[in-house]
Amino acid sequence: MWAEYQRKWPPGERAPVDRSDDQSGSRRGDGNRVLDPAENGRVETACDRIAEREREKISPALRATESQDPDRHLIGFDDRLKGRDRIKDKVYRSINNFKRSPEQAVSLVPDTIRYTFQYREDRYTQGVWADIGRLKDQGFELRQLRNSWSDDQYKGINSRWIEPETGQRFEVQFHTRISFEAKQITHGAYERLRSRQSDKPDKFEQMVLEAFQKKVTAEVPVPPGADGIPDYPERGADAR
């Protein structure tokens, strides 16, 4: 189905952007999102701080948590830091539309550091509860937990945490092998649906993308008890 989609909507080739007049040290992203040299330099410095906190505080604690249960493990660990270009695309709007400082804008990105625990289906619910407790025991503050096991386009649990000493935000996802594979398979569709306004898919393309996500997600088994893990904070009855 994804191959059929790509045949109908092949990835567009973008003309190279003329950067000959850009200031030295500036950064131009998709949609002509430009950070001037001072802004770009401050974002780079903020990203350096994030990498230091990840290396010295957060990843050692996550590895220590991982060591407490041999029945599950961290996957995708090499990709735990979000790419700096992705961070800059995210903070551009925050800096320019909401007049936040580069440091504030970067600090509000919830997944500059992200981890994924993968469990066996029969150990999933017990394991998630245990690891939430272990992360709290490490001193991390749980800010948000979203259970999407009842969702029709994504299955898994995503959580957001803060390291209180530095205020650093990070994300932890909880998956089974199959739910993680489904996430990887549908990632292209997810990114396309989140395209910027000037390049958003039309309604028919959106419908096809959502149908693809639903088809893949429908094949993901729900671990026993997983859909009973509550959101934090609790969502309204009609919220997703």
Owning domain of residue 58: 39-178
pLDDT on residue 37: 96
Assess if residue 119 is contained within a domain: yes
pTM: 0.89
Number of domains in the chain: 1
Assess if residue 26 is contained within a domain: no
Query: Residue 155: phi, psi to the nearest 5?
Result: -125, 135
pLDDT on residue 239: 39
Assess if residue 201 is contained within a domain: no
Question: What's the rounded Cα separation, in Å, for the pair 223 and 86?
Answer: 32
Assess if residue 215 is contained within a domain: no
Record the tokens describing residue 7, joined without a space: 């045949």
Question: What's the rounded Cα separation, in Å, for the pair 152 and 204?
Answer: 19
Assess if residue 87 is contained within a domain: yes
Assess if residue 208 is contained within a domain: no
pLDDT on residue 66: 98
Q: Is 30 exposed, middle or buried (0-12, 13-18, 19+ CB in 10 A)?
A: middle
pLDDT per residue as tens, the chain (240 positions): 666 666 656 766 555 666 667 889 999 887 788 999 999 999 999 999 999 999 999 999 999 999 999 999 999 999 999 999 999 999 999 999 999 999 999 999 999 999 999 999 999 999 999 999 999 999 999 999 999 999 999 999 999 999 999 999 999 999 999 999 999 999 988 888 877 655 788 888 888 899 999 999 999 999 999 999 999 998 764 433
Q: Which amino acid is at 46?
A: A
pLDDT on residue 190: 82
pLDDT on residue 237: 41
pLDDT on residue 188: 87
Assess if residue 76 is contained within a domain: yes
pLDDT on residue 193: 84
pLDDT on residue 6: 63
- DSSP secondary structure code for residue 81 in this structure: B
Assess if residue 165 is contained within a domain: yes
Q: What is 136-194 written as a DSSP string?
A: HHTTPEEEEEEE-TT-SS--SEEEEEEETTTTEEEEEEEEEHHHHHHHHHTHHHHHHHT
Record the tokens describing residue 230, joined without a space: 């509550």
Q: Is 167 left (phi over 0), alpha (psi -120 to 50) or beta?
A: left
pLDDT on residue 222: 98
Q: What CATH number is given to the structural domain containing 108?
A: 3.30.460.10
Q: What is 19-33 written as a DSSP string?
A: -TTSPTT-EEEGGGE
**Cis peptide, bond prior to residue 233, ω within 30 of zero:** yes
pLDDT on residue 67: 98
